[in-house]
A and B are shown apart, each in its own frame.
Chain A
Amino acid sequence: MKRFLKWALLVVVVLVVCALGAFLYFIPPFFTTAPEDFGKAMAAAAPGVDGITDPAERAIAARGRYIVMTTGCIGCHATNGPQGPDLTKYLAGGGIKSVASQATYVSRNLTPDKETGLGRRSDDEVKRVMRSGVFPDGHVVAVTSMPWGAFSNWSEEDRHAVLVYLRHLPAIHHPTPEPVPGNAITASGAFEQDHAWHDYGTAEAKPIR
């Protein structure tokens, strides 16, 4: 009887470990989700423009939506969860990306929220980040963190369309960390952290051939 209990306990423990392992293995369900479903989820998550009353503004915002959606802004400007990027908080920021030997970045909230999002920023300030990577405090965000060098190739009219779309997103109150000089995590501050590049060197990088 005692021996049976011992065996039963062992089986239960093994089962629990296997179950936990399988649970961990299958979330996030990247490889059990059909590839097409990622695209459907992305298209469904991007808020539509039908609610915009002014027809000219609606037409421009539709162009902006296409650019924002296809460029994959949500890939960085979302909080990562067990299911991948949190698509319910569309473009509300908070995703963390690190760049070797350089700095750790936290993506910003792009929704029109007045306290934590782009509601704080003027049109010119938003366009300037997209065009030149220059933040309102004057620092230039490293092109390896936000690829603004690519977005600077949008035509001025397309950049305007992206801005119009961002202005019509539902506002989400979602604070993201502010840059703190000397802190390992800054919201954008390659500048404060740039010395780290030299401190760590490129020991992990392969030699250039």
Chain B
Amino acid sequence: MTTLRSVLASTVAAALIVAAALSVARARVEAQPRGKAVYDKHCSECHGADGKGDGPAAAYVVPRPRDFSGGKYKIRSTDTGSVPTDEDLVRSIRQGLYATSMPAWDRILSDADIQDVVAYIKGMSPQFSTPPKPVALGAGTPSAPASIDRGHQVYDKLQCGKCHGNDGRGSGAVTTDFQDDKGQPLPAADLTEPWTFRGGATSRDIYLRFRTGMAGTPMPSFAEAASDAEMWDLANYIVSMARKPVWSMTAQEIADLYAKQDAEAKANPVKRGAHLVNTLACATCHSPIDDQKRVLPGMRLAGGVRFRIEPYGEFVTGNLTSDKATGLGNWSDDEIKRVITRGTLRDGTRLLPFPMDYGSYSTMTPDDLNAIVAFLRTVPPVSNKVPPPKYKWLIPYLWGKFNLLILGGDPPMTIFSGNAGTKGGAQ
């Protein structure tokens, strides 16, 4: 009788487990189309149609968008090598990742939308077939002067300053210019600017970054090098390093901060120039795109984007890389600056004042112009010969003008995909 009962019970239990598993699987499948709809509308511009982190915007933003197919996540509450929990993913989507182009979606997407898109994203990586291993989070250590002092000692012991600097902002560091495991630039975090900490700036957030490491970056887990108490003290110390953000400063403090930033820019023109080229959207016109609007691999800043501007003609953007034959390699500093500020090429050809807005660029300080030139000298050469401008013949040009100015047609500017230049072989 007992055997029969136990057999029955185990059968029922097995049936229940199978049914539960099936319903979970079905719920997952049902979530997919909804998750895909949310994903395609809100996520694909950066993360790409199939989640490889290669959407149209990917080539322009620093840091690059996450590649979901790899299953590697920086912001986790799980052991090193483990995938994040659903709550981790939901939190990153709801709050965004600070100081990246990932915004907070909590005001736009409903909780159900976020759950659906999390399920969809998890489906992109086989790593999620292994369940996450959340770390056991203790009560922590409340911030107090003694804990902060101990944290300072831990900072020295773990040699955090080798990457982040002794002052948390790079002073005395071996280098702060790192790359992630995809070879993309990833500078060490400035620890005095907590509003830039991707995963949040509470002592708990910071503790988790030491404890779990940041997958895909040079930031390792310190779970074995330091005790739990040490990591909490260190977190309290990092919180105490914060400086005032500009929106809380007095006029004098702002003047001091800006003077310091200007001095740093002048001391490191290549870094300043890279920042300017990144933020002035040079790459948007000077990098050819494919028919999915993604920058062609290896062609960033190599020119070759064809513009049709009515009624003037067709123009192809220049190669800004340091290639000697087809890029800026043989241009003098003054020649480069003359194009940027006066729209005049080496042979004296005048450019239209748009879309190459040299009028605006000429309002830059001489230091910033020098910085841009210094950076462009460091862009690896790509051989891509761009054709000269094709201005319209006189009569079509005058007719286009008549249409534009007298008949009131819109001045259309059309940008074409593909590389209109001739890509050369190896130099």
Known: A144-B56, A204-B416. A21 touches B359 (CB 8 A): no
Q: State which residues 138-182 of A face B: CB under 8 Å.
A: 138-140, 142-144, 147-157, 160-161
Is A191 positioned at the interface, with any CB of B under 8 Å from its CB? Answer: yes
Q: Give the complex CA separation of A161 and B416 in angstroms.
A: 34
**Of B68-76, B129-137, B247-255, the one with at least 4 CB within 8 A of chain A:** B247-255
Q: Mark each residue of chain A from 78 to 103: 1 if its CB lies under 8 Å from any CB of chain B, else 0.
A: 00101011000000000011111110
Known: A142-B45, A149-B284. A24 touches B289 (CB 8 A): no
Q: Give the complex CA separation of A55 and B253 in angstroms.
A: 11
CB <8 Å contact, B415 and A100: yes
Known: A31-B350, A134-B103, A138-B109. A56 touches B359 (CB 8 A): no
Q: Give the complex CA separation of A142 and B46 in angstroms.
A: 10
- Residues of A near B420 (CB, < 8 A) are 206
Known: A56-B254, A74-B360. A36 touches B280 (CB 8 A): no
- Residues of A near B2 (CB, < 8 A) are none
Is A58 positioned at the interface, with any CB of B under 8 Å from its CB? Answer: yes
Contact of A144 among B245, B289, B353, B410 (CB under 8 A): B289
Distance to closest chain B CB from A174 (angstroms):
17
CB <8 Å contact, B353 and A30: yes
- Residues of A near B419 (CB, < 8 A) are 206, 208-209
CB <8 Å contact, B361 and A153: no
Q: Give the complex CA separation of A191 and B282 in angstroms.
A: 24
- Residues of B near A85 (CB, < 8 A) are 354
- Residues of B near A49 (CB, < 8 A) are none
Is B186 positioned at the interface, with any CB of A under 8 Å from its CB? Answer: no
Known: A56-B254, A72-B361. A35 touches B41 (CB 8 A): no
Contact of B293 among A72, A128, A142 (CB under 8 A): A142
Nearest B residue to A22 via CB reads B398
Known: A71-B280, A151-B279. A35 touches B358 (CB 8 A): yes
**Of B57-65, B265-273, B374-382, the one with at least 4 CB within 8 A of chain A:** B57-65
CB <8 Å contact, B361 and A55: no
Known: A38-B362, A69-B360, A98-B413. A140 touches B45 (CB 8 A): yes
Is A15 positioned at the interface, with any CB of B under 8 Å from its CB? Answer: no
Distance to closest chain B CB from A15 (angstroms):
16
Nearest B residue to A25 via CB reads B398
Contact of A39 among B98, B293, B341 (CB under 8 A): B341
- Residues of A near B249 (CB, < 8 A) are 56
Is B196 positioned at the interface, with any CB of A under 8 Å from its CB? Answer: yes
CB <8 Å contact, A69 and B363: yes
Is B331 positioned at the interface, with any CB of A under 8 Å from its CB? Answer: no
Known: A31-B350, A202-B291, A205-B418. A157 touches B246 (CB 8 A): yes
CB <8 Å contact, A75 and B250: no
Q: Give the complex CA separation of A20 and B399 in angstroms.
A: 11
Is A59 positioned at the interface, with any CB of B under 8 Å from its CB? Answer: yes
- Residues of A near B413 (CB, < 8 A) are 97-98
Distance to closest chain B CB from A118 (angstroms):
17
CB <8 Å contact, A209 and B423: yes
Distance to closest chain A CB from B427 (angstroms):
17
Known: A70-B280, A133-B57. A39 touches B359 (CB 8 A): yes
Is A43 positioned at the interface, with any CB of B under 8 Å from its CB? Answer: yes
CB <8 Å contact, B108 and A24: no
CB <8 Å contact, A143 and B251: no
CB <8 Å contact, B342 and A154: no
Known: A143-B293, A144-B284. A60 touches B246 (CB 8 A): yes
Nearest A residue to B254 via CB reads A59
Q: Give the complex CA separation of A42 and B357 in angstroms.
A: 10
CB <8 Å contact, A150 and B405: no
CB <8 Å contact, A58 and B41: no
CB <8 Å contact, B56 and A207: no
CB <8 Å contact, A70 and B284: no
CB <8 Å contact, B350 and A35: yes
- Residues of A near B109 (CB, < 8 A) are 138
Is A1 positioned at the interface, with any CB of B under 8 Å from its CB? Answer: no
Q: State which residues 1-22 of A face B: CB under 8 Å.
A: 20-21
Is A63 positioned at the interface, with any CB of B under 8 Å from its CB? Answer: yes
Q: Give the complex CA separation of A138 and B101 in angstroms.
A: 14
Q: Give the complex CA separation of A55 and B250 in angstroms.
A: 8
CB <8 Å contact, A99 and B415: yes
CB <8 Å contact, A149 and B417: no
The 5 closest A-B pairs by CB, nearest first: A149-B60, A38-B359, A39-B362, A72-B360, A150-B281
* Contacts beyond the supplied A143-B293, A144-B289: 5 A-B pairs with Cβ under 8 Å: A20-B402, A35-B341, A100-B308, A147-B60, A149-B60
